[in-house]
């Protein structure tokens, strides 16, 4: 009798532990609405998502590549991606530079940077550039129905290609759909 109670308590503890881990894992990868407000001047509703990372690649000892971002929707049709791009070397941006998204259906969407300039060093082998990309209505329509397979980051000097992990391929789609719910 005592052995059964001990086994049941152990089983309950394990179930509770697994439930907590599963809940935490879901919460970590869940996109959220971070802010919802009415702009005082335009009277448009502004909705902002949580910060997410589309890709990260660390190359030891040379540094790290990453693309972190959030999306802001202003009114009914203005979608802007605010991004922080990290590379192991200094980046120079000009008009015509930006990112190209390769969709799983083979189409591409090219987003040009809204800012120009040079990235700033934040640590050894870590250079960061903050920018934004305005999505057209056609871009939003395509991204809401198709996942992304690869991202090309284009600068003045060069370009970098990144293949997205399976769980990141639908990230933009999920975030855009969430903004319209």
pLDDT tens per residue across span 167-176: 999 999 999 9
**DSSP one-letter string for 16-51:** HHHHHHHHHHHHHT---EEEEEE-TTT--EEEEEPP
pTM: 0.79
* Secondary structure (3-state) at 39: coil
**b/e 128-139 (16+ beta carbons within 10 angstroms → b):** bbebebebeeeb
Tokens of residue 132, six digits: 């934004």
Residue 118 has what pLDDT? 82
pLDDT tens per residue across span 97-134: 999 999 999 999 999 998 888 888 887 778 899 999 99
Tokens of residue 50, six digits: 């949580």
Please compute the mean of the pLDDT values over residues 65-93 and round it to a whole number.
Answer: 92
Residue 94 has what pLDDT? 86
pLDDT tens per residue across span 126-153: 889 999 999 999 999 999 999 999 999 9
Residues 44 and 150: their CA atoms lie apart, in Å, by: 33
Domain spans, the chain = 1-30, 32-179
Is 90 exceeded by the pLDDT of residue 154?
yes
């Amino acid at each position: 009798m005592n052995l059964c109670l001990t086994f049941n308590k152990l089983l309950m503890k394990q179930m509770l532990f697994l439930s907590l881990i599963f809940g935490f894992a879901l919460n970590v990868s869940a996109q959220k609405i971070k802010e919802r407000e009415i702009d005082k001047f335009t009277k448009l509703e502004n909705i902002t998502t949580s910060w997410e990372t589309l890709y990260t690649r660390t190359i030891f000892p040379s540094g790290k590549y990453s693309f972190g971002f959030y999306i802001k929707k202003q009114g009914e049709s203005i979608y802007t991606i605010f991004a922080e791009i990290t590379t192991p070397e200094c980046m120079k941006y000009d008009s015509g530079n930006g990112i190209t998204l390769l969709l799983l259906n083979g189409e591409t969407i090219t987003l040009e940077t809204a800012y120009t300039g040079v990235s700033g060093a934040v640590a050894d082998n870590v250079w960061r550039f903050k920018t934004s990309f305005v999505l057209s209505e056609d871009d939003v329509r395509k991204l809401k129905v198709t996942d992304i397979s690869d991202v090309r980051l284009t600068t003045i000097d060069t370009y970098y290609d990144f293949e997205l992990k399976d769980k990141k391929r639908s990230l933009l789609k999920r975030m855009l759909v969430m903004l319209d719910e």
